[in-house]
């Protein structure tokens, strides 16, 4: 059984998430995934990152650079264009 020191409130989790250094870039990636009907597996493959680093990227963790976010965003955009061209 967990004692009280092991519990984290929802407010604390939300605060920590808001303070992630790359939260806005991560939100942008997730929004593009949804908009373009891409799965996490597809975007993971595009990222070229190890699984644990990709998870940190989607969380907005500081382990990933702005350049890596921009590169992945560009890859998602290119994937969308390729998908549209494949259907024509």
pLDDT tens-digit profile of 28-48?
999 999 988 899 999 999 999
Mean pLDDT, range 16-21, rounded to an integer? 80
- The answer on pLDDT for 1 being more than 60 is no
Measured between alpha carbons, how far is residue 83 from residues 5, 22, 62, 77 in Å?
49, 28, 31, 10
End-to-end CA distance of the chain: 58
Indicate the pLDDT class of residue 87, thresholds 50, 70 and 90.
low
| Percentage, residues of the chain above pLDDT 90 | 39
Sequence length of the chain is 88
CA distance 5 to 61: 24
State pLDDT tens for residues 46-65: 999 999 999 989 888 877 88
């Amino acid at each position: 059984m967990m004692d009280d020191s092991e519990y984290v409130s929802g407010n604390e989790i939300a605060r920590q998430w808001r303070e992630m250094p790359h939260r806005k870039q991560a939100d942008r990636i997730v929004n593009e995934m949804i908009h373009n009907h891409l799965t996490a597996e597809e975007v993971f493959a595009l990222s070229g990152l190890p699984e644990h680093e990709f998870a940190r990227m989607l969380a907005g963790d500081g382990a990933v650079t702005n350049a890596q976010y921009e590169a992945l965003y560009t890859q998602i955009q290119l994937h969308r264009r390729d998908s549209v061209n494949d259907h024509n």
